[in-house]
Amino acid sequence: MKNNEKRKSGYVALIGRTNVGKSTFLNKVMGTKVSIVSDKPQTTRKQILGIKTSEKGQIIFFDSPGIHVPQYKLNQKMMKDVHNSLLDADILLYFVEVADKREDKFIIDMIKNSNKPAFIIINKIDKYKKSKALDMINEVKDILNWSEIVPVSALTGINVDLLEELIYKHLPEGDNFYPEEEYTLQTEKFFVSELIREKILNLTREELPYTTFAKVHEITDKGKIVYIRAEIFVETKSQKKIIVGSKASLIKQIGETGRKDLEDYFDKKVFLDLYVKVSSNWRNSNTILGELD
């Protein structure tokens, strides 16, 4: 940072349809995994706070659930997080995909009514010819008075550094909100539960991922190994059979893939003890949804 430059600090909300790469972007710009990633819609159920501190200042990211019409209390809670992001943010980053030219009036109206500086982020440019990205820019440039229009690839990192620079350009001056060593305010239990859910999302199909919830009961550091005990909630006995799998094959696979990531996170051996529990209609249960707070 130059001597005459003042530090910038503020809150940035990542918003958009489901599965447009918001979580992938957050993990890329943070340089570490703070949000689960899946190719299935509505992966993010709760705001994931990522705190990026540099010599220029501090950016606090909200990764909100994909915007959709809520049908359960769970989905209503997710959409409440979206509205809170708009209220709290200094800048809005609206993510769209290069080839998706659907006009989403609902989201655009939310952005317009917020009266906040808004960028439109055209993601996944690595998958298409340059002309496709240029066509998309022409399609969206007059929809709103965008503060910035930035084509990126969250997956490969194309223009992610540029986007970070532009965020600092528009943030207000101010000191850090959080200590430099902080990179997220999510609890360890929340991170572990989300990582387990990510493995379920990636290893199952159709409606099953959206009827599951992972609750971590215990994380104990026993010196050479970290012991983790967690329950996977499903809504029906048939779903439990699927999660467990033939001769417990799927639950073992969930545990093995989860354990590998957790060992990277804890930097030591991990024993992941998983159980599956049936709790009918948990997506409308205030008690279980309270676990997401």
DSSP 223-244: SSEEEEEEEEEESSHHHHHHHH
**Torsion from C-alpha of 217, 222, 225, 230, nearest 10 degrees:** -10
Q: 180 lies in a domain?
A: no
> Is the domain of 126 the same as that of 210?
no
The Cα angle at residue 214 between residues 271 and 263, in degrees rounded to 5 = 30
Strand ranges of the sheet holding 269-278, from the earlier edge strand across to the other edge: 213-221, 225-234, 269-278
Residue 97 pairs in a beta bridge with 123
Which residues, at least 6 apart from 237, have a Cβ–Cβ distance to it below 8 Å? Answer: 278
Q: Which residue has the higher pLDDT, 71 or 238?
A: 238
| Domain hosting residue 249, numbered range | 188-292
Q: Is 139 helix (H, G, I), strand (E, B) or coil?
A: helix
Domain shared by 155 and 248, yes or no: no
User: Are residues 153 and 28 part of one domain?
Assistant: yes
Average pLDDT over every residue of 45-72: 72
pLDDT digits (tens, 9 = 90+) for 18-39: 778 888 999 899 998 887 665 5
Number of separate domains in the chain: 2
In a domain, 72, yes or no: yes
My answer on whether 96 and 202 are in the same domain is no
Give the closest residue to 68 by CA, choosing from 120, 103, 16, 20. 16
Asked if residue 87 is part of any domain, the answer here is: yes
The torsion angles phi and psi of 103, rounded to 5 degrees, stand at: -85, 120
Q: What is the CATH number of the domain that holds 271?
A: 3.30.300.20
Please tell me the predicted confidence (pLDDT) of residue 85.
63
Q: Do 251 and 212 fall within a single domain? A: yes
Q: Position of tokens 């949804």?
A: 289
Domain co-membership, 203 together with 286: yes
Confidence of residue 151 (pLDDT cuts 50, 70, 90): very high
Looking at the structure, tell me whether residues 128 and 196 fall in a common domain. Answer: no
End position of a domain, from candidates 109, 140, 170: 170
Indicate whether 103 and 30 sit together in one domain.
yes
E runs forming strands in 101-224: 118-123, 148-151, 213-221
| Confidence band of 74 (pLDDT split at 50, 70, 90) | very low
State the Cα–Cα distance between residues 5 and 58, nearest whole angstrom.
14
In a domain, 3, yes or no: no
Residues 99 and 166 in one domain: yes
- Percent of all residues in the chain with a pLDDT value above 70, rounded to a whole number: 80
Residue 55: predicted pLDDT: 93
44: pLDDT confidence band, cut at 50, 70 and 90? very low
Q: Are residues 166 and 206 in the same domain?
A: no
Same domain, 47 and 97: yes
Q: What is the mean pLDDT of the segment spanning 156-163?
A: 96
What pLDDT score was predicted for residue 199? Answer: 86
